[in-house]
Chain A
Amino acid sequence: MTFSLANAGRRETLPGGIDLRGVRARTLALGLVSLGVICAIALGAAMTGDDGLGTHLLAKKLPPSWDFPFGTDPLGRDMAIRTLKGLALSLRVGVIASFASSLIALVLALAAATLGSTVDHMVGVLVDTFFAVPHLVLLILVSFALGGGTSGVIVAVAVSHWPRITRVLRAEILQVLSSDYVRVAHGFGRSPFKIAVEHLVPHLIPQVLVGFLLLFPHAILHEAGLTFLGFGIEPNRPAVGILLAESMRYLTAGYWWLAVFPGLSLLLMVLAFDGLAAGAKALVSPREAQD
């Protein structure tokens, strides 16, 4: 760890007694900044309204400038606003997908860990089945089954991200179940339901929360990939994937800004979620966050 010499003498602490110079505090700060970025994207998209999406034939193909920071496309649409709207859509898909997948994972993991070895094996085979199909192929299949469209994309991303967290949660539950305090509770005649509510769930909530946040980047990138491939195209609703697919048509014409800025914004948002997840982890499991 590199300490800056200027601060070496002073002690700077947050109200909670967290040392500002520690790794954990820095991770927490990173998480807060990330949260700020994400909120700014959501608020910005909500406040800009739909009039920015219209075409302005006088302002076609403009490179980035102060008026149009991301430039304009060949129909004269402001790329900054379209990107913002696209990111907001990604954000929504991310929320729905993370929520649905965490819920499915929690139910399956609980079932696998508590309902005996037959159910455990069945869940294991189910997880293996979903792992065997390349994720993008699975997404194409599901969105094909639902007839494409934005809803097809949302559902496809939502129902396909649970296998990994299911594995993690199952291992976690098995570990808690074999711990001494659960055995003691069992010995005192506590019902399995009470043990689940009083001992398992409080232990799992932080894990589910971190899993939920770690899922976001995957969901967002898959949504962008799927819309890029042409699934779920609705021309008047910009998604980052659609913007990038459109930019492909004008590459040889030299309109580089059409591709560079939407992708860079998406990258930034994914990094923000990574930071948020790291911050949450620092709160939930301080020991691991010190690495």
Chain B
Amino acid sequence: MKNRLSPVREIDAKAPTCRFWLRFAASRLLRVVLVLTLVSILAFALVSMAPLDPVDAYLGPNIFHISPEQRDLVVARWGLDQPPLMRYVTWVGHVFTGDLGVSPIFNQPVATVIATRFSASLALMTIAWTASGALGFCLGLVAGTWRRSWAAKIIRVYAYMLAAAPTFWIAIILLIVFGVVLGWTPICCAAPIGLTPDQISLGQRLSHIILPATALTFLGIAQITLYTCQETAEFMNSDVAIFARAQGASRWDILRRHAIRHAALPAITVQFAGIGELFGGSILAETVFTYPGLGQAAVAAGIRGDEPLLLGITLFSAAIVSIGNSIADALYHVIDPRITLAS
């Protein structure tokens, strides 16, 4: 930040070099691989622990049409007679070739289910992520700059309330108000029922996504608002801001010239680190609006005992969250070179 007013830094901080970034990327990659390995072990152990018998869950009522010999055949074919360690090794081997198994409840390869479901969730999460980031950032700036004002108080109370409210409850309230009472939006699904994908217009898609996306936006807003507010308030008490005030700059001037830049990157970092939270929120929002995304598939897998799908979704979501966290970590180094210097 080229800031003529800023006091002289005690440490002569240089921007991270190319070599640093290579080493950083390598170490993060190693860490991500290690974490994903541990996640896979943890998830596999948990799924193996489950009292539910996968063959029974798969057969359902058909269990009565099947002889014990035929059942044993299924068990042998699925490798369920092997010890857990062997099954884990086989599973990981398959995962490396891109084969996550077949989901019994969707009757499709797990990779296909995740791909189709995630494309629906991605639209939802992208809208919510961007909107909550932009809105939360603006609200936080206002609340932090004019700390004593009524607007700031209202924004802070609002953010605290949102942070304390259950996501799915907000979603239900939105559904009652806009879906049922006002009738502005459809109350379920990602498209009108009974149409093939090529018959659905963009407008229809948008009208179905707007309510779930709003609910998810509300979830993300609270944290970013409170964080930006604190960051900005601290900045407004810093020597830079006080000196600028003494020179006759208004709060708005300081906000426009300094505070935005000061708060922007930390806010983006917080947004990247919050992807896990967003993912959890999308599970709840998708359930409320019966939106056919990845979160809904995760719930179905958990309740109906679809082990391959549950494992696949766990690994996939862990990979996404890890990437988000790595980006957040990298951004820390961009924002403040002193962190690089210290480590």
**Does chain B have a CB within 8 A of A134?**
yes
B38 contacts A271, C-beta separation under 8 Å = no
The smallest beta-carbon distance between A184 and chain B, in angstroms, is 27
> Once bound together, how far apart are the Cα atoms of A240 and B169, in whole Å?
10
Task: Considering the complex, give the chain B residue whose CB is closest to the CB of A124.
Answer: B31
Residues of A within 8 A of B327 (CB): none
**Known contacts A256-B176, A263-B172, A141 near B46 by CB under 8 Å:** yes
> Once bound together, how far apart are the Cα atoms of A148 and B180, in whole Å?
33
Residues of B within 8 A of A217 (CB): 164
> Once bound together, how far apart are the Cα atoms of A277 and B276, in whole Å?
25
> Once bound together, how far apart are the Cα atoms of A260 and B169, in whole Å?
8
Task: Considering the complex, give the chain A residue whose CB is closest to the CB of B313.
Answer: A137
B284 contacts A225, C-beta separation under 8 Å = yes
Residues of B within 8 A of A254 (CB): 180
B321 contacts A229, C-beta separation under 8 Å = no
Report whether over half of chain A's contact residues are helix, strand or loop; otherwise say mixed.
helix
Residues of A within 8 A of B50 (CB): 144-147
Task: Considering the complex, give the chain A residue whose CB is closest to the CB of B162.
Answer: A267
B166 touches which one: A125, A247, A260, A266 (CB < 8 A)? A266
> Once bound together, how far apart are the Cα atoms of A216 and B134, in whole Å?
29
Cβ contacts A210-253/B at 8 Å (1 or 0 each):
00000001000100110011110000000010001001100110
Cβ contacts A87-107/B at 8 Å (1 or 0 each):
000000000000000000000
**Does chain B have a CB within 8 A of A132?**
yes
Task: Considering the complex, give the chain A residue whose CB is closest to the CB of B316.
Answer: A137
The smallest beta-carbon distance between A68 and chain B, in angstroms, is 19
Task: Considering the complex, give the chain A residue whose CB is closest to the CB of B306.
Answer: A144
B322 touches which one: A132, A240, A248, A274 (CB < 8 A)? A132
Residues of A within 8 A of B314 (CB): 133, 137, 141
B161 touches which one: A142, A145, A146, A267 (CB < 8 A)? A267
A267 contacts B46, C-beta separation under 8 Å = no
CB contacts under 8 Å to B, within A184-221, are 217, 221
Instruction: List 11 contacting pairs A-B, 8 Å CB cutoff, sorted by A.
Output: A133-B39, A136-B283, A136-B284, A140-B299, A143-B302, A224-B166, A244-B166, A247-B172, A251-B180, A263-B173, A267-B166
Interfacial residues, chain B to chain A (CB-CB below 8 A)? 31, 34-36, 38-39, 42-43, 46-47, 49-52, 148, 160-161, 164-169, 172-173, 175-176, 179-181, 187, 276-277, 279-280, 283-284, 287-288, 298-299, 302-303, 305, 310, 313-314, 317-318, 321-322, 325
Name the 4 nearest CB pairs between A and B, nearest first.
Answer: A263-B169, A136-B280, A145-B46, A134-B279
Known A132-B35, A132-B318, A136-B283; 20 more pairs at CB < 8 Å: A126-B38, A128-B35, A129-B35, A133-B276, A135-B280, A141-B47, A142-B46, A144-B46, A145-B46, A146-B50, A228-B168, A229-B283, A229-B284, A229-B302, A229-B303, A230-B299, A248-B172, A256-B180, A266-B169, A271-B161
